[in-house]
Amino acid sequence: MSVPYSAELLTLRDLLRWSISRFNAAGLHFGHGSDNAWDEAAYLLLHGLHLPLDTLEPFLDARLLERERQRCIDLIQQRIATRKPAAYMTGEAWLQGRRFLVDERVIVPRSPIAELLTDALSPWIAEPEAVSRVMDLCTGSGCLAILAAQAFESAQVDAVDISQGALEVARSNIALYGLENRVQALYSDGFEQVPEGTGYDLILCNPPYVNARSMAVLPPEYQHEPRLALAGGADGMDLVRRIVRDAPRFLAPEGLLVLEIGHERAHFEAAFPKLEPLWIETEATSDQIMLLRREQLEP
> What's the rounded mean pLDDT across residues 226-242?
97
Answer whether 0.85 is exceeded by the pTM.
yes
pLDDT at 5 over 80: no
For 147-180, what is each residue's pLDDT tens digit?
A: 999 999 999 999 999 999 999 999 999 999 999 9
Neighbours of 298 (CB within 10 A): 10
Distance between CA atoms of residues 129 and 226, nearest Å: 35
pLDDT at 197: 82
Q: Where are the domains of the chain?
A: 6-90, 106-297
pLDDT at 22: 97
Q: Does the domain at residues 106-297 carry the CATH identifier 3.40.50.150?
A: yes
pLDDT at 62 over 60: yes
Beta bridge partners of 237: none
251-260 and 200-205: which strand pairing? Answer: parallel
Q: Which helix (H) or strand (E) holds 202?
A: strand 200-205
| Residue closest to 142 by CA, chosen among 166, 116, 113, 112 | 166
pLDDT at 204: 98
pLDDT at 284: 85
For 77-95, what is each residue's pLDDT tens digit?
A: 999 999 999 999 999 999 9
For 98-131, what is each residue's pLDDT tens digit?
A: 999 999 999 999 999 999 999 999 999 999 999 9
pLDDT at 212 over 90: yes
